[in-house]
A and B are shown apart, each in its own frame.
Chain A
Amino acid sequence: MSIPILFFAYFAIASIVLSLIVVTRKNYIHAVLWTLLLFVHISGIYLFLNAEFFAMIQMIVYAGAILVMLIFVIMLLNVKHEDHLSDLSSLSIPKVFFVFCALGILVLALQASYLNTTGKFSIDFVNTFSDAKLLGQVFYSEANLPLIIMGVVLFVPMIAAIVLAGKRSDE
């Protein structure tokens, strides 16, 4: 058993256990803090995949912005944990079985879609330049349409959030 497999096993098992903990928490703040730990572990998994940029983005955007926004709203609304976890009892064995069957089929489909090709971005090529630099080059050359779509996708919710959560003029 080599060292990388041991590290991967740690991160994978920790991710699964942490996501189970997140789903079953009663207190919202506790759930968000466990999610923070989960995202740190997922960014560790990204490091295995030579995606240093994504490990960074995972920490900055998810852990730094989205979760803090969630904690901010929970504290702003001062929500008590009115969950009695009785909703988890609505979980029946057939439901879980169905979900896992569907996902098994999904995994098989993804495996089938995997083509054993060697593309341009081999590990050596990515290592000579850096991951972020190459991603930027791809974004500004062949993938410029996703970049524009991302701009629109980030622009519309900004207006939506201001309109929805802003101060009412009729009150």
Chain B
Amino acid sequence: MVPLNAYLILAAIIFAIGLIGFMTRRSIIMMLLCIELMLNAVNITLISLSHYMQDFMGQVIALLIIANAGAGMATGLALLINAYRLKKTVKIDLFRNLRG
């Protein structure tokens, strides 16, 4: 039996890699991919806790997160298409005028 800590630490490491990637990569496509990485790490945490606590509410929330990931990806890609039409680039640094 694999202990719960192994799953939690695995999820934390994947989340950290996704977070570091999100902070350092400067293209919108890679940032979206890193968001997906982080959401997957959260899903691993929720499902492992759901398994070890023998409660299905964790899986319900994990399914909610998958729906959220799909929704976020669709909206993000629509915004990406619009941004690319405007500036012909996907580098986030060139959209500094969005800062207001």
Which positions in A face B, CB cutoff 8 Å? 4-5, 8, 12, 15-16, 19-20, 22-23, 28, 31-32, 35, 38-39, 42, 45-46, 48-51, 53-54, 57-58, 61-62, 65-66, 69-70, 73-74, 76-77, 79, 82-83, 87-88, 90-91, 95-96, 99-100, 103-104, 106-107, 110-111, 113-115, 117-123, 134-135, 138-139, 143, 146, 149-150, 153-154, 156-158, 160-161, 164-165
Contacts and interface: CB of A to CB of B under 8 A. Distances in A.
B66 A19 contact: no
What 4 A-B pairs come out closest when comparing CB atoms?
A: A119-B54, A23-B21, A164-B78, A157-B71
Interface of B: 1-2, 4-10, 12-21, 23-27, 29-30, 32-34, 36-37, 40, 43-45, 47-57, 59-64, 66-75, 77-82, 84, 89-91
A111 B2 contact: no
A133 B69 CA distance: 23
A82 B75 CA distance: 23
B contact face: mostly helix, strand, loop, or mixed: helix
A115 B10 contact: no
A119 B52 CA distance: 9
Contact of A114 (B16, B20, B49): B49
A49 B12 contact: no
A77 B29 CA distance: 11
26 contacts: A4-B2, A16-B14, A16-B17, A19-B17, A19-B37, A22-B33, A23-B18, A23-B20, A23-B30, A31-B29, A31-B30, A35-B36, A53-B59, A58-B66, A70-B32, A70-B77, A73-B77, A79-B84, A82-B90, A82-B91, A117-B53, A119-B53, A121-B54, A157-B75, A165-B77, A165-B82
